[in-house]
Amino acid sequence: MSVEAQQGIATPRIPAGLGGLLPALILIGLFFVVPVLALLLRSVTDPAPGLQNYATLLGDGTYARVFFNTFLVAFVVTVVTVLVAFPVAWMLAIMPPALASILFGIIILSMWTNLLTRTYAWMVLLQRTGVINRTLMGAGIIDQPLPLINNLTGVTIGMVYIMLPFMILPLVGTLRAIDPMTLRAAALCGASPLAAFRRILLPLSLPGIAAGGLMVFVMSLGYFVTPALLGGTSNMMLAEMIAQMIQSLLNWGLGSAAAFILLVVTMALYALQLRLVGARRTAGGA
């Protein structure tokens, strides 16, 4: 019998299953919770205690424009990414496994290429004297170079290219789980391809679209490199503004407040998705 038991001293016990999670919880607390709390504290104490930083961000028209640009770009990029990724994911889901593995590897390989290199490549392609404009002018399709850079168009093209793998991955898993016999049964019952897509394929693929769409939207909200290089000053996004506030203006309070607002919006969107997916599963189970 231990000394503690002999003396009647109760020793604290870690709940079953928590011991293995304790190192992970400590790491999460140190590297995630503590920095977020420090960010929140600085946003309400710098330069003076109060909510003046949040009032400035939400009340100033200039900052409101940056917030609007951020959500507009994130929304447009998400929609375009879904439209481009869906046929690619469907093709990967139905083609022979050997060929699908090769194409899937090419898509994954693009994610391993340096982000800055890919963005600079798009700068070369999209500029007025770039390959795209020269090809279109040489084919006689256009007479003047198209403005494809330093605007929303350039940011959308560059970010959609970067975000495509994050949309394709969850979509492929969802589409491969759909029984092909369901679509064949719909065709045998007289459903047109469009009706089968609208009433069967699309509803069954919504979990993958929701998961990939949320990932793309959240990542787009906080993107910095691509919008900074392919966009213009009139299309500044929140991440670029935060970097400018902290690095150039040394305004840690305002930058922390902007970063915390972005974090709250991201967590709210994630909670909304969990709620909608949970409600959908409950309804499906019922």
**What percent of the chain shows pLDDT beyond 90?**
9
Q: Would you state the pLDDT for residue 282? A: 54
Q: Is the pLDDT of residue 281 over 70?
A: no
159, 220 in Cβ contact below 8 A?
Answer: yes
Average pLDDT, the chain: 83
Q: Is the pLDDT of residue 28 over 80?
A: yes
> Which contiguous run of DSSP H or E holds residue 256?
helix 252-285
* Of 47-56, 186-195, 272-281, minimum mean pLDDT range: 272-281
Pick from 23, 239, 226, 262: nearest CA to 116: 226
Q: Would you state the pLDDT for residue 119? A: 87
Q: How far apart are CA 205 and CA 94, in angstroms?
A: 14
Higher confidence at residue 230 or residue 285? 230
Higher confidence at residue 33 or residue 285? 33
Which position has the token pair 């392919």? 230
Q: Would you state the pLDDT for residue 12? A: 53
Q: How far apart are CA 286 and CA 282, in angstroms?
A: 6
User: How does residue 236 score in pLDDT terms, banded at 50, 70 and 90?
Assistant: confident
- Quick one: tokens of 95? 């083609």
Q: How far apart are CA 201 and CA 244, in angstroms?
A: 45
Cβ density class 73-111: b for 16+ within 10 Å, e for less: bbebbbebbbebbbebbbebbeeeeeebeeebeebeeee
Cβ density class 231-246: b for 16+ within 10 Å, e for less: beeebbbbbbbbeebb
* Of 38-42, 270-274, 277-281, minimum mean pLDDT range: 277-281
Average pLDDT over every residue of 232-236:
74
CA-CA-CA-CA torsion sign (225, 229, 234, 235): negative
Q: Would you state the pLDDT for residue 225? A: 83
Q: How far apart are CA 226 and CA 231, in angstroms?
A: 8
Q: State pTM to two decimals.
A: 0.81
Q: Is the pLDDT of residue 90 over 80?
A: yes
66, 231 in Cβ contact below 8 A?
Answer: no
* Of 20-24, 136-140, 162-166, 261-265, minimum mean pLDDT range: 20-24
- Quick one: tokens of 85? 């990724």
pLDDT digits (tens, 9 = 90+) for 111-156: 787 888 888 888 888 888 888 889 988 888 888 888 888 888 888 9
Pick from 117, 124, 123, 81: nearest CA to 231: 123
User: How does residue 277 score in pLDDT terms, banded at 50, 70 and 90?
Assistant: low
221, 262 in Cβ contact below 8 A?
Answer: yes
Average pLDDT over every residue of 33-50:
86
pLDDT digits (tens, 9 = 90+) for 178-218: 887 888 888 888 888 888 888 888 888 888 898 888 889 98
* Of 6-20, 37-51, 206-220, minimum mean pLDDT range: 6-20
DSSP conformation class of 190? T
* DSSP code string of 34-51: HHHHHHHHHHHHSSSSSS
Rg for the chain, CA atoms, rounded: 25
Q: Would you state the pLDDT for residue 238? A: 85
Q: Is the pLDDT of residue 232 over 80?
A: no
- Distances from the Cα of 128 to the Cαs of 46, 52, 114, in angstroms? 44, 43, 24
